[in-house]
Amino acid sequence: MPEFLWRWLLNGIGLLITVRLVGGLHVDSIWTGLLAGAVLGIVNAVIRPVLVFLSFPFTLITLGLFTLVINGLMLWLTAALVPGFRIVSFGAAIVGALVLSLVSWVLSWFLPG
């Protein structure tokens, strides 16, 4: 299977696990979670690098912690784009982004290649 399909599946599964672990994140179905994982991958590939570049001074001043805010924004944007995926607050988005990063890191151990 091509690597991008594995990455998409990893994002989707990671997001579904994160929704189960973090209060304030909701998906209507498994398919919605997998779609949100795909959209999150696109958002992270297209928009996140621009935000990281533009916010470099803030990231430097906060010793990298501002990256959590950027990740939360990407998750929140994904929820705005995908019907059936909801986040109740920005705090939940930041906690969800942190948990999603950890879950995806653990799941990446099982990624072939």
Return the pLDDT at 19: 95
What is the band of 2 on the pLDDT scale with cuts at 50, 70, 90?
confident
Return the pLDDT at 56: 95
Let me know: does 39 contact 33? Beta carbons within 8 Å: no
What average pLDDT does the segment 1-21 reach? Answer: 85
Measured CA to CA, the distance from residue 72 to residue 70 in angstroms comes to 5
Let me know: does 59 contact 52? Beta carbons within 8 Å: yes
Mean pLDDT, the chain, whole residue set: 91
- Beta strands (DSSP E) in the chain are 25-27, 85-87
Return the pLDDT at 24: 94
Let me know: does 10 contact 40? Beta carbons within 8 Å: no
pLDDT per residue as tens digits for the range 68-113: 999 999 999 999 999 999 999 999 999 999 999 999 889 888 766 5
